[in-house]
Amino acid sequence: MTFELAKDIIKQIHMMKNDKMGILFRRVSKMNFRKSLELMEKYSKCQKCGSEYIGDGEGTLVVTDDTFIRTCKCGWRVEIKEE
């Protein structure tokens, strides 16, 4: 999965009119939605090897209540804690 696809999926979930999905999204991540998208844009490409892929062992993207983590198969990793 490319980073752009992941970002699009998150945008679609956020914009859904389904109340249950909206509640689920808010419970999963308290990190500011706009801030999450900015970080996704900034770290869409691995800063070590340039890969844009996540999943299937290519890399990961994790957004929790206060943390953004992006990793790559080459070993690169960024972790940002929201204050």
81: left (phi over 0), alpha (psi -120 to 50) or beta: beta
- Tell whether the model's pLDDT for residue 65 goes beyond 70: yes
- Vertex 38: Cα angle to 23 and 2 (nearest 5): 85
Residue-wise pLDDT for 24-58, tens only, equals 344 445 567 778 888 988 999 999 999 988 888 88
Number of domains in the chain: 1
* Residue that wins the pLDDT comparison between 75 and 37: 75
- How far is Cα 63 from Cα 18, in angstroms, rounded to an integer? 21
Predicted pLDDT of residue 61: 86
Q: Among residues 53, 80, 76, which one has the least CA distance to residue 65?
A: 80
Residue ranges making up the domain that contains 64: 3-81
Residue-wise pLDDT for 1-20, tens only, equals 566 777 676 666 555 444 44
Predicted pLDDT of residue 66: 82
| Edge-first strand listing for the sheet containing 77-81 | 59-63, 67-72, 77-81
